[in-house]
Amino acid sequence: MAQAVRDAIGAKEHLAVQAGTGTGKSLAYLVPAIAHAAAAKTAVVVSTATIALQRQLVDRDLPRLADTLEDLLPHRPEFAILKGRRNYLCRHKMGAGMPEDEDEQLFDPREVSATGRMVQRVVDWANDTETGDRDELVPGVSDQVWRQFSVTARECLGAQRCPSGADCFAELARERAGAADIVVTNHALLAIDAMEDLPILPEHNVVVVDEAHELVDRVTSVVTGELSESTVALAVRRAGRLIEQGVADRLQEAGEDLRSLLAAAPPGRVDDLPQSLALTLSLVRDAAFACITALGPRNKDKDDPENAGLRRAAFTALDDVHDTAQRMLDAFGPPPADAGDEEGSDDAVDSASPGGTGDTGDRWGASGTGDGARGAVHPDEAARAEVVWLDAAHPQGRANIPPTLRVAPLSVGGMLREKLFGSRTVVLTSATLALGGTFDGMARQWGLGRDGWTGLDVGSPFDHPRRGILYVAKHLPQPGRDGLPEAYVTELAELIEAAGGRALGLFSSMRAAKAATEALRERLDVPLLCQGDDSTSQLVKQFAADPATCLFGTLSLWQGVDVPGPSLTLVVIDRIPFPRPDDPLASARQRHVAATGGNGFMSVAATHAALLLAQGAGRLLRSIEDRGVVAVLDPRLATARYGGFLLSSLPPFWRTSDPVKVREALRRLSTDD
């Protein structure tokens, strides 16, 4: 792998490397990266999806390599970690140089005590910290509290204009990164640096993307826009301090119209643009533009330094509202010439997806406008570039998140191809990239064509056929939509009894995880933990500490659990993890692929499931001494047409559908350990 990375950097060719757990892939890319940085006198950027891997690189791998390579290079390799500006304490905002928004102030009588303690901890910590890095504040604080002490990149005045610029924690981190050979960052910051006019990372021509299977989702999150009464109200509050009241009132009224419309509308994907929504988005956009105009020239800050922070914050909030409203309108485009001829289009997509399209376009009449879909814009599905959807209101802690309209691209491949791969050599690596036995699916998502890149599977140090069993419960009924079938609970109980506990249950929904936990606590005499009982990190610690314990949960456990040793000998997956039928982005992407002549189900749903299955199965063997069983209770893995594709994405365990053999194997493992 190290040789392949070195050759790719030398040839300026992109490289995708699948490297299983235990291969030492971080060392395999760091050594040639350090060598290139020393020879080219330019930084190499290493991007990860998780804080845990960033810390591993900066605290363990890079210091060891620096010690080892120091005598072989012109200078000791230097390294730094760089995060988004929001992750650093802002001294200017702490000094009341920036606005404090009403919805972020700290006077909820139910929370004032706990929140006040968190605020005081930040203030005390601010006097001692050398980095201002939020992740070094232990225990942490809520996002609501942290927002009082940080700014986004667009809200920042800039080091030259900010009164606290000389001591800015974010700028100090950038300075350290500018002097480093290896800069460790995250996928979100990598995307912002590459795609927006906000140069953050130092000059570089080589990027290593670790945990590359998460790149597309992280980039999609960065470029997703959202609009709600909260985002509009924030813009009104910030601008209202600086412009005439009547202009601000116009935006407030438009925000109230938006609130009323969204509160009555059905959640889900919006395929057609209803007249009521088009009118409301236009009102919001135009009112935001009027506020922007009323603020005056953007370069006015130097003539009004006292209000510079207020103006920058107001422009940022107003730009977000204006640009997002316009983007949502643009997502539907002009009506196509044959807009009325859509018969049969839904049937093709429904047959490819386990559950319908989530279309809400014909139900917006519930908003009270009475127009429903009359006058709605019906975009050409094949020409669609973005999808709009409505998330329903939901509680978050003690707060209530209002209905939120979101817009995201159907694909970020074009952006990545142009902004990331177009000007840099990129090495992408993960334990799960070759889905269905090929890198082509991931390459398409990244925007790579057939040429200009190479795929390499370096294998695994584990002897999968001798150390692990893949058991597919072929005799069980297909999973339904009404909770966890009784047959699944019985099967799960028998497997856990045979294993003596020591099971990680990976479920497709929290409802299924909780149902299984409740049912099995009555049947089994082993400790059962369920996600939500405590923080995930604490649950994993308890699970690892007691070999008899079982842990059940959902997505974060599919990819975030590393428990080598006898505490984990059984991984149970309740069903093939297809995207939810009402997932607006996945269903829209599936529909778009079908409209352009592809197989939407295989390209989107099956690929998504293959990635998660591979990640879930990868929880079993974490060291060369580990042994165990991956049990999939969904018989479709063995019986459906797409089963072969999914199976070829999994490690090469010994396979069986015989429940007796599996239980015997688990009993032997339990006795041996």
Residue 562 lies in a domain: yes
What's residue 203's pLDDT? 92
**393 and 305, same domain (yes or no):** yes
Domain stops at, among 398, 426, 459: 459
Nearest one of 257, 204, 208, 264 to 233, comparing CA atoms? 257
**94 and 239, same domain (yes or no):** no
Residue 163 lies in a domain: no
The three-class DSSP label of residue 390 is strand
Residue 248 lies in a domain: yes
Residue 342 lies in a domain: no
Sheet holding 404-409, edge to edge: 225-227, 404-409, 386-391, 268-270
**327 and 200, same domain (yes or no):** no
Q: Encode pLDDT of 643-669 as tens digits.
A: 999 999 999 999 999 999 999 999 999
Residue 387 near residue 331 (C-beta atoms within 8 A): yes
The number of beta carbons lying within 10 Å of the beta carbon of residue 262 is 23
Residue carrying structure tokens 């060891």 = 64
Domain stops at, among 391, 407, 423: 407
Give the mean model confidence (pLDDT) for residues 62-78.
95
Residue 500 lies in a domain: yes
Sign, CA dihedral 559-561-564-570, equals: negative
Q: Which of 353-362, 534-543, 582-591 shows the highest mean pLDDT?
A: 582-591
Would you place residue 480 in the very low, low, confident or very high pLDDT band (cuts 50, 70, 90)? confident
**484 and 632, same domain (yes or no):** yes
**597 and 449, same domain (yes or no):** no
The three-class DSSP label of residue 37 is helix
**61 and 118, same domain (yes or no):** no
Which structural domain, as residue segments, surrounds residue 483?
464-672
Residue 302 near residue 157 (C-beta atoms within 8 A): no
Residue 124 predicted with pLDDT over 60: yes
Q: Which amino acid does the sequence have at 190?
A: L
Compute the distance between CA of residue 111 and CA of residue 121 in angstroms, rounded to an integer.
Answer: 15
Q: Encode pLDDT of 174-229 as tens digits.
A: 999 999 999 999 999 999 888 876 778 999 999 999 999 999 999 999 999 999 99
The three-class DSSP label of residue 573 is strand
Domain stops at, among 428, 459, 490: 459
Q: Encode pLDDT of 558-601 as tens digits.
A: 877 889 999 999 999 999 999 998 899 999 999 999 999 999 99
Q: Encode pLDDT of 97-108 as tens digits.
A: 455 554 444 444
The pTM score is: 0.87
**323 and 264, same domain (yes or no):** yes
List, as one string, the DSSP characters of 288-301: HHHHHHHH--GGGG
CATH of the domain at 525: 3.40.50.300
Compute the distance between CA of residue 275 and CA of residue 475 in angstroms, rounded to an integer.
Answer: 51
Q: Encode pLDDT of 140-160 as tens digits.
A: 888 888 988 998 887 888 888
Residue 169 lies in a domain: no
Tally of domains within the chain: 4
Give the mean model confidence (pLDDT) for residues 451-461.
94
Q: Encode pLDDT of 378-411 as tens digits.
A: 667 778 899 999 998 766 555 578 899 999 999 9
Compute the distance between CA of residue 588 and CA of residue 466 in angstroms, rounded to an integer.
Answer: 42
Counting residues of the chain whose pLDDT is more than 90, the rounded percentage is 69
Q: Encode pLDDT of 238-270 as tens digits.
A: 999 899 999 999 999 999 999 999 999 999 999
**25 and 48, same domain (yes or no):** yes
Compute the distance between CA of residue 191 and CA of residue 189 in angstroms, rounded to an integer.
Answer: 5
Would you place residue 304 in the very low, low, confident or very high pLDDT band (cuts 50, 70, 90)? low
